[in-house]
A and B are shown apart, each in its own frame.
Chain A
Amino acid sequence: MVHDIDTVLDAPIGDHPDPGEFIRAAMRWHFDPRTGSPFWLARARTLDFDPLTDVKGVDDLALFPNVCDELRDVRAEDLVPRGYGDRPDICGIYESGGTTGRPKRVVLLRDWFDKSQAWLGATLDAHGVPRGANWLMMFPTGPHMGGYAYARLARDRGSHAFSIDMDPRWVKQLIAAGRTEDARAYAGHLLEQARHVLRGQDVGVLAITPPVLERLAVDEELTALVRDKVGAIVWAGAHMDAATRDLLGGEVFPGIPIVGFFGSTMMLHSCGQRGTEDPGACVFDPPAPFITFRVVDEDGKPVEYGTRGRVVVNHVSRSFLLPNNLDRDEATRVPGPPGQVGDSLADVTPVQVFDGEAVIEGVY
């Protein structure tokens, strides 16, 4: 390990290292033949700029091409920076959900994972999510990072996780094939498993995806069990609109904190919802400068604050570099908290695809 080089990269997220210093250190690490990953060292030869001299801050990350698609084929080992030595501490190799074609692969290294988890834990504390309470975790495991990370979060907080597995790729295939009833039946299958855990076990935190939470919220027994037992609901892995958040918080689970997380495998992290008085606002602040957001228009230019655009994500850590990744989500651009570099996001939704104008036959 060569971690004594540029120790700014090892600062905890909460220390808010200086973005310029941090980015320059990261460039030195990832593009030094002794420490960079085989993937980036090879890719560097095709760049029309020099990361060591041209990338001086977060804004300059936009110089990079979006290499996301290359993560579908690259050898996982080639993504690990050489600086980690012969026996890097790899937590796992995780894959994107497969929403947009073949899955993309990333390597989760221990030092980043610990940093990310510590930050998630602090976010949960800030939202009043109880410590020492068991979790019922309904996130996918296997190739997906969520199930791995959140189960360990429960352990870090002094409790256990009851895990119910799900296969989101199969659900996506069902929906794409128009088999919505089968997709619903699958969600029902997950909820029946949750019912056994909620009836018989001490569960204080429910971690769940929005679609399954919505289904749970119309089941009388499950709703009553959650109201009785659960001290906080954590959702992640999909989107939830403001009207649904209102209903869940105001009518279905009044008084229970409902905390959203926005993340992705390519981000190697999920960002907790900003604490605010207004339940309708759902703002996500990234752990900058490790992860930074930019909200852009079709031409890649930043949109005005308060305007919607596509989300561009940069991940820059000692363990991984994925700059300038145009995400599948769109969001409203909002200013970050004082001192944060880059944008924060409100009301994240999947990119909408609009059809052209069509004259419809028939009178309805």
Chain B
Amino acid sequence: MSATSHLVRLDALGPSGAYRSRNVQTVNDIHGAPYAELSLVPPLFVARTMAALRKADPLPLEQRLDAIAAAGRAFATGTVGGLSAEEYQHAVCRVSGLPWVTTEMALEFTAQYTERAYLSSQLARPAGAVNDWRDPRTRHGSGVWARRGHVFAVHAPGNTPSAHTLWLQSLALGYRVALRPSSREPFSPHRWITALRDAGFGPDQVALLPTDHATADEVVRGADLAMVYGDDEVVRKYASSATVLPQGPGRSKFLLTKDADWTSYLDTVVSSVSAHGGAACINTTTVYVEGDPAPLARALAERLAALPSLPPQDPKAVLPVKPLAEARGIERFLLAKAAGTTPWLGGDGIVDDLGDGTAVLRPAVHQVARPDAPQTRIEQRFPCVWVAPWSPEAGVAPLRDTVVLTAVTDDEALVDRLFAEPSIANVYLGDHPTYWLPPGIPHDDYLESFLMRTKACIR
């Protein structure tokens, strides 16, 4: 990453090093001013990079773990590609409009995850499998944990920089990795690949492949396995593919049954909705309350209303900022979708014009009349929460399609049913925010379940 004139230059990072394309996408900041230039690679570049990655050997285990940890330290505290950590944070906020706090969290997560990348992945190893065929247990017959492929491609999400910690385990496992950045926030992927190369990964072991929309599929096709972030459409597209792991909307939920005194959990509900600027899939989209949801909705609205409107790079900023026109578009969408609900916050709109062509997306709290109201599935990239009534009769059905469900309940039979429901990925019980996700905890299953397999060995 280097600055030509005033624009940050984000080159592709291919097998021959940095690659400046003739096809450059200008990345604007939230004021609409050009901020960075992203080199878009053509399909042929993707195919040649994938061929190089497939030919390369992985770094030996110790070396790659050291390199991952070193890259994590550099990412979080060092100067990478000419940008200090603070300059990087500034770039992320300035372009994506994410509030400063999300970049702080990302740097903190980064250090935690990269130190523990291997330990985390070991937690996912089946109890019957050893890491290496040389392990004495194979003399009597054992499973051996092995990669399902050589090259792993990731269509990186642009919603929050913390999300990048999720694919790092693949490097610990020995995969060669190609990352396609989101043009909404290409700085984090560029910083990651640059830091990994600086730390010892070869240009034929990790690559950054910015592409236009049409070429994006080439990145997936060229890899053995791929993880793709996107909307419901993306999930449908790849649902039947054994080699693509789609990551769709999270639609995280919070359930409070009648045996829970919601006032004791209000702090946790508020932070579940609004941490990460509300932009993560592990932010709560819908709160279900057994009994009258109105008091909780009112209290939630009061608390969220107190969050300050600030430019994103302000150290106290916690809410996302968008170009005014885009913010207005999101507002129109929300108001149209919220028709027929009871607004507690943001019913007149969620746009707070900062007067400089940008606007803060203020929190929204709406109460819906039924547990299965269609609004409960609408996930947004700002603190936007739907409060819904729930009853034992409604049961598990409205709680489906959820990456994290926090349930505050004494009903063990209900908890059993939540664990039995396949479309609920994670169940947290009691006073735990939906965004709780330390290293070693599966996010949407262990990624290793997708990346690894167990082979039998006897010798």
Contact = CB atoms under 8 A, between A and B. Distances in A.
B44 A244 contact: yes
Nearest to A360: B231
B381 to A, nearest CB: 5
B232 interface: yes
A244 B42 contact: yes
Contacts of B379: 361-363
A280 interface: yes
A252 B48 CA distance: 10
A359 B330 contact: yes
A243 B22 contact: yes
Interface residues of A, number: 22
A241 B232 contact: no
Interface in A219-236: 220
Contacts of A218: 44, 47-48, 51
B257 to A, nearest CB: 27
A317 B67 CA distance: 68
Nearest to A362: B249
Which of A242, A280, A360, A363 neighbours the largest number of chain B CB atoms within 10 Å of its CB? A363
Contacts of A247: 42, 44-45, 48
B248 interface: yes
A248 B229 CA distance: 31
B280 A363 contact: yes
A251 B47 CA distance: 13
B271 interface: no
Contact of A363 (B21, B281, B329): B281
Contacts of A362: 230-232, 248-249, 281, 379
B231 A361 contact: yes
A280 B283 CA distance: 47
Contacts of A214: 43-44, 47
B99 to A, nearest CB: 15
B346 to A, nearest CB: 15
A273 B1 CA distance: 35
The bracket for how many chain B residues form the interface is 35 or more
A357 B249 contact: no
Nearest to A248: B44
A138 to B, nearest CB: 17
Contact of A242 (B22, B157, B234): B22
B156 to A, nearest CB: 9
Interface string A239-270: 00111101110011000000000000000000
Given A214-B43, A241-B42, A247-B44, A180 B21 contact: no
A113 to B, nearest CB: 34
Interface in B1-36: 16, 21-23
B68 to A, nearest CB: 24
Interface string B157-188: 11110000000000000000000001000000
A180, A244, A360, A362 pick with most chain B CB within 10 angstroms: A362
Interface string B275-293: 0000111010000000000
B217 interface: yes
A243 B280 CA distance: 35
Contacts of B378: 361
Interface string A205-220: 0000000001001101
Given A218-B47, A243-B41, A359-B333, A364 B231 contact: yes
A363 B44 contact: no
A214 B218 CA distance: 12
A180 B215 CA distance: 13
B250 interface: yes
B406 interface: no
Contacts of B194: none
Nearest to B41: A243
A241 B231 contact: no
B110 interface: no
Contacts of B23: 241-243
Contacts of B48: 217-218, 247, 251-252
A363 B279 contact: yes
A281 to B, nearest CB: 10
Contacts of B41: 243
Contact of B22 (A220, A246, A252, A360): A246
A260 B206 CA distance: 34
B333 A217 contact: no
Interface in A323-364: 357, 359-364
A341 B245 CA distance: 55
A334 B348 CA distance: 52
B247 interface: yes
Interface in B278-325: 279-281, 283
Contact of A243 (B21, B248, B281): B21
B159 A363 contact: yes
A217 B378 CA distance: 45
Contact of B250 (A242, A244, A363): A363
A361 B280 CA distance: 13
B22 A363 contact: no
Task: Tell which of B22, B51, B231, B281 has the most Cβ of chain A within 10 Å.
Answer: B22
Interface in B222-238: 229-232, 234
A217 B182 CA distance: 27
Nearest to B325: A357
Nearest to B212: A241
A270 B365 CA distance: 62
A216 B378 CA distance: 45
Contacts of B21: 243
Contacts of A242: 22-23
A224 to B, nearest CB: 13
A12 to B, nearest CB: 36
A252 B229 CA distance: 32
A148 B158 CA distance: 50
B31 to A, nearest CB: 19
A180 B217 CA distance: 10
Nearest to B230: A364
Nearest to A280: B22
Interface string B110-154: 000000000000000000000000000000000000000000000
Contacts of A220: 51
Contacts of B44: 214, 217-218, 244, 247-248, 252
Interface in A50-107: none
B442 to A, nearest CB: 19
B45 A363 contact: no
Nearest to B283: A363
A129 B361 CA distance: 61
A43 B158 CA distance: 57
Nearest to A357: B329
Given A180-B217, A217-B47, 10 more contacts: A241-B23, A242-B23, A243-B22, A247-B48, A280-B22, A361-B231, A362-B249, A363-B159, A363-B283, A364-B234
28 contacts: A214-B44, A214-B47, A241-B23, A243-B21, A243-B23, A243-B41, A244-B43, A247-B45, A247-B48, A251-B16, A252-B44, A357-B329, A359-B329, A359-B332, A360-B231, A361-B232, A361-B380, A362-B230, A362-B249, A362-B281, A363-B160, A363-B280, A363-B379, A363-B380, A364-B157, A364-B158, A364-B247, A364-B249
- The 8 nearest A-B residue pairs measured at CB: A362-B249, A364-B229, A359-B333, A242-B22, A218-B47, A362-B231, A363-B159, A244-B42
Interface of A: 180, 214, 217-218, 220, 241-244, 246-248, 251-252, 280, 357, 359-364
